[in-house]
A and B are shown apart, each in its own frame.
Chain A
C-alpha cells in the first residue's frame, strides 16, 4: 500500500512536474513568441524607417536632380529656342536679303520698263498730238471749204434769184397777148405729148 501511495505520490509529483513544465513551456513559448513578434516588428519598423529614409533621400536626390534637370532643360530649351530663333532669323535675314534683291531687281526692271513706256508714250503722245493737230487742221480746212462752198452756193442762188426776178419782170411785161396764147397752146400740146391729157 505504501508503494501505492508512493506511486501515487510519484505519479502526482510527475503530473505536477509535467504540469509545471508544461506551464513553463507555454510561458516560454509565449515569451518566445512575444519576443519574436517584437523583433519582427522592430525589424519591420527599422526596415520601414530605412525605406522611408532612403525614399526621402531618394526623393531629395530626385528633387535635386529634377531641379538640376529642369534648369538644364531650361538652359537646353533656351539654347534650342535661341538656336531656332537664330536659325529662323538667319532664314529671315536670308529671305529678306533675297526679297530685297528681288525687289530691287524687279524695281529696276520695272523702272526700266516704265522709263521705256514713258519714252514710248511720250513719242506716241507727240505723234498723237501731231496727228490730232493735222486732223483738226484738215477738219478746219474742210469746214472752211464747206462754208466757202455753201456761201458760194448761196451767192449763186441769190444771184440766180435776182437774175430770175429781173428776167421775169422784163419778160412778163414784154409778152403780148398773142404770145401768151401761143405759149398756152404750146403748153397744152406739150401736156398731150407727155400724156397728161
Chain B
C-alpha cells in the first residue's frame, strides 16, 4: 500500500518532509475553509513524493479512512532506517535512486562527500561499518607491498 511512496523516499530530508506533510494533512482533515484538506491539497505540488502521498490519501477514501491511511504511512516512514554513505563525489538523484534500489524500500540514504576517500564508499548502517574506499584499498595495497 505504501511501497511506492517508501521507494521514492531516498534521503533523510525527504523522510522529514513526508512526516511533516502527513501531520499537515491529518490536521487538515477535520478543518473547514482555507485550512480544510481540499484547500491544503491545492497548495501542494502534485508531483514527486508529495504528489504520490496526496494521491494515496485521495484514493484511501474520506474522513477516518484518510486519517488511518496517513497514520499507517507515518508509522512505516518512521520505521525507515538511514544508511550513512560517504563518497568521493556528490551523487545525483538518478544515481541515488539506483542506490536506493540496492538498499531496499525501508532504507533512506544520507550522503556525505569526502574527496579524501578517492572513490568507492564507506557505509555505516545499524551500528555496522564497511569501508570499501579506494583510499583504503591503496593503503592496504601499499602496506602489503611494504614499500
A171-B118, A180-B87 known; A187+B133 contact, CB < 8 A: yes
**Chain A binding surface, main DSSP class:** helix
Which of these, B102, B129, B133, B146, contacts A188 with CB under 8 Å? B102
Interface presence of B130 (CB below 8 A): yes
A156-B147, A196-B128, A196-B129 known; A180+B103 contact, CB < 8 A: no
Question: B101-140 vs A: 1/0 string, CB under 8 Å?
Answer: 0111001000000010011111111101110111100110
The interface stretch among B25-33, B50-58, B70-78, B88-96 is B88-96
Interface presence of A121 (CB below 8 A): no
Chain B interface bracket (under 10, 10 to 19, 20 to 34, 35 or more): 35 or more
**Which residues of the other chain, A, contact B139 by a CB distance below 8 angstroms?**
164
CB atoms of B146 and A185 under 8 A apart: no
CB atoms of B118 and A168 under 8 A apart: yes
Which of these, B83, B120, B134, contacts A197 with CB under 8 Å? B83
Interface presence of A124 (CB below 8 A): no
CA distance A197 to B103 in the complex (A): 7
CB atoms of B133 and A180 under 8 A apart: no
**Which residues of the other chain, B, contact A180 by a CB distance below 8 angstroms?**
87-89, 119
Interface presence of B16 (CB below 8 A): no
A69-95 contacts to B, CB under 8 A, are none
What residues make up the interface of B, taking CB atoms closer than 8 Å to A? 83, 85, 87-89, 91, 95, 98-99, 102-104, 107, 115, 118-126, 128-130, 132-135, 138-139, 142-143, 146-147
**Which residues of the other chain, A, contact B126 by a CB distance below 8 angstroms?**
196
CA distance A100 to B35 in the complex (A): 130
CB atoms of A187 and B120 under 8 A apart: yes
A167-B138, A188-B102 known; A160+B147 contact, CB < 8 A: yes
**Chain B binding surface, main DSSP class:** mixed
- Can you list the 6 inter-chain pairs with the closest CB atoms, starting with the nearest? A187-B132, A187-B121, A191-B130, A183-B120, A196-B130, A191-B123
Which of these, B85, B107, B138, B147, contacts A171 with CB under 8 Å? B138
**Which residues of the other chain, B, contact A163 by a CB distance below 8 angstroms?**
142, 147
**Which residues of the other chain, A, contact B85 by a CB distance below 8 angstroms?**
184, 188
**Which residues of the other chain, A, contact B104 by a CB distance below 8 angstroms?**
197
Question: A148-176 vs B: 1/0 string, CB under 8 Å?
Answer: 00000000100110011001100110010
A156-B147, A184-B121, A196-B125 known; A164+B102 contact, CB < 8 A: no
Which of these, B119, B133, B138, contacts A164 with CB under 8 Å? B138
Interface presence of A186 (CB below 8 A): yes
**Which residues of the other chain, B, contact A159 by a CB distance below 8 angstroms?**
147
Interface presence of A2 (CB below 8 A): no
Interface presence of A1 (CB below 8 A): no
Q: From B126, which residue of chain A is reached at the shortest CB distance? A: A196
Interface presence of A5 (CB below 8 A): no
CA distance A162 to B89 in the complex (A): 24
Output the least CB separation between A163 and chain B (Å): 5
A179-B119, A189-B102 known; A197+B125 contact, CB < 8 A: yes
